[in-house]
Amino acid sequence: MEILFWHLFCWFAIYFIQNGLIYENSVNFKRFSGDFLLPLHEKQSNMKLNRIKLVLVEKGISQTQLAEILGKSFSTVNAYCSNRQQPSLEQLHKIAEVLSVTPKDLLNDIS
């Protein structure tokens, strides 16, 4: 009986954590392996803010080439392209200049 109780307790705990219904001291959980510990509202905020990857494909330029031109690491440019990180305004202008587009062309309209 005690084992059944612990199985049910663990199942409910995992369910509530995965669905963003439990917070640790009202503070967001940190990532461990995957995003199952993130609250629901944080999972939904993964919107794509820039279009750098799309414009690179349109222009036929690889992420590696862009990284070399900008003097940045591939991982930084890859983070920009996958929207894990956003470039500074200065970097956005440099990227736009390299790709022969306006900075506005590199941003998604989120309104």
**pLDDT tens digit string along 56-91?**
999 999 999 999 999 999 999 999 999 999 999 999
The reported pTM is 0.58
CA dist 3 and 8 (Å) reads 9
- Is residue 64 within 8 Å of residue 78, measured between CB atoms? no
- Is residue 99 within 8 Å of residue 61, measured between CB atoms? yes
CA dist 92 and 103 (Å) reads 6
From 65, 60, 66, 64, select the one nearest 96 (Cα to Cα).
66
pLDDT of residue 111: 61
